[in-house]
Amino acid sequence: MNYILFMKAKTYTLCICLLLLGAVACKNAEKSKENINTNQQIKKFYTSELESCIGLLDSISIDKLPQKNINLYKKARQHFKMIEPVLAAIDVNNYKSLNAPNILQVHEEDLTDIKIKKPFGFQVIEELLHESVMDTLLLENTLTVTKSRLKLVKQNTSISLKDYHVIWLLRNQIIRTATTGITGFDSPVLAQSLQESQYVYNTLIKIIETYQDFFNNNELREEIITSFKNSIKALQGDFNSFDRYTFIKEYTDEQLKLLVAIQKDWNVEFPFEMAIANNTVSLFGENTLNVNYFSDYKNDTTQIKKKEEFGKLLFNDKILSKNKSMACVSCHVKELAFTDGKKTFNNKQKRNSPTLTYTAYQQSFFMDARTGSLEGQIVGVANNHDEFNLPMDSIVNRVVANSTYKVMLDSLYGNKRVEYNIRHAIASYVRSLNTFNSKFDNNINNKENTLSASEKRGFNLFMGKAACATCHFPPIFNGTVPPNFNDTELEFIGVPETNDTINPMISDDLGRYDFFKTEERKHFFKTPTIRNIALTAPYMHNGVYNSLEEVMEFYNNGGGAGLGFDVPHQTLPFDNLDLSDEEIKDIIAFMKTLTDSSY
Q: How far apart are CA 309 and CA 290, in angstroms?
A: 20
| Nearest-angstrom CA–CA distance, 232 and 81 | 14
**Chain Cα centroid distance, residue 288:** 12
pLDDT band at 34 (very low <50, low <70, confident <90, very high): low
Residue 16: CB atoms within 10 A of its CB come to 10
Q: What is the mean pLDDT of residues 350-359?
A: 96
**Band of residue 31 on the pLDDT scale cut at 50, 70, 90:** low
Q: Which residues pair with 110 in a beta bridge?
A: 113
Closest to 338 measured CA to CA, from 322, 358, 314 = 358
Topology, domain 41-290: A middle domain of Talin 1 (1.20.1420)
pLDDT per residue over 113-129, tens digit each? 888 889 999 999 999 99
> Is residue 23's pLDDT more than 60?
no
- For the domain spanning 292-430, the CATH number is 1.10.760.10
Average pLDDT over residues 17-36: 51
Q: What is the DSSP letter of 573?
A: S
Residue 103: exposed, middle, or buried by beta-carbon count in 10 A (0-12, 13-18, 19+)? middle
221: exposed, middle or buried (Cβ count in 10 Å: 0-12, 13-18, 19+): buried
Average pLDDT over residues 369-385: 95
Q: Which residue has the higher pLDDT, 26 or 241?
A: 241
**Contact (CB, 8 A) for 557 and 496:** no
Provide mean pLDDT across the span 543-560. Answer: 97
Q: How confident is the model at residue 367 (pLDDT cuts 50, 70, 90)?
A: very high
**Mind listing the pLDDT tens digit for each residue in 419-462?**
999 999 999 999 999 999 999 999 999 999 999 999 999 999 99
pLDDT of 107 above 80:
yes
DSSP state of 67: H
1 pLDDT above the threshold of 70: no
Question: 3-state secondary structure string, 444-458?
Answer: HCCCCCCCCHHHHHH
What are the residues facing 105 on neighbouring strands? 117
Share of residues in the chain with pLDDT > 90 (%):
86
Its sign, for the CA torsion 293, 294, 296, 299, is negative
Point out the least confidently predicted range of 18-27, 281-290, 343-352.
18-27
Instruction: Tell me what pLDDT residue 30 has.
Output: 53
Q: Is the peptide bond before 271 cis (omega within 30 degrees of 0)?
A: no
Superfamily of domain 439-592: Cytochrome c-like domain (1.10.760.10)
SS3 230: helix
Residues of the chain with CATH 1.10.760.10: 292-430, 439-592
- Spell out a b/e string for 235-246, using b for 16 or more CB atoms within 10 Å of the CB, else e: beeebeebbbbe
Segment among 170-184, 318-332, 572-586 with least mean pLDDT: 572-586
Please check whether residue 548 is in contact with residue 374, taking contact to mean a CB–CB distance below 8 angstroms.
no
Cα gap 480→291, rounded to integer Å: 13
Q: What is the enclosing helix (H) or strand (E) of 239? A: none
CA–CA dist 374, 357 (Å, integer): 13
Q: In whole angstroms, what is the distance from residue 448 CA to residue 597 CA?
A: 13
pLDDT in tens, 477-524: 999 999 999 999 999 999 999 999 899 999 999 999 999 999 999 999
Q: What's the predicted TM-score (pTM) here?
A: 0.92
Q: What does the mean pLDDT of the chain come to?
A: 92
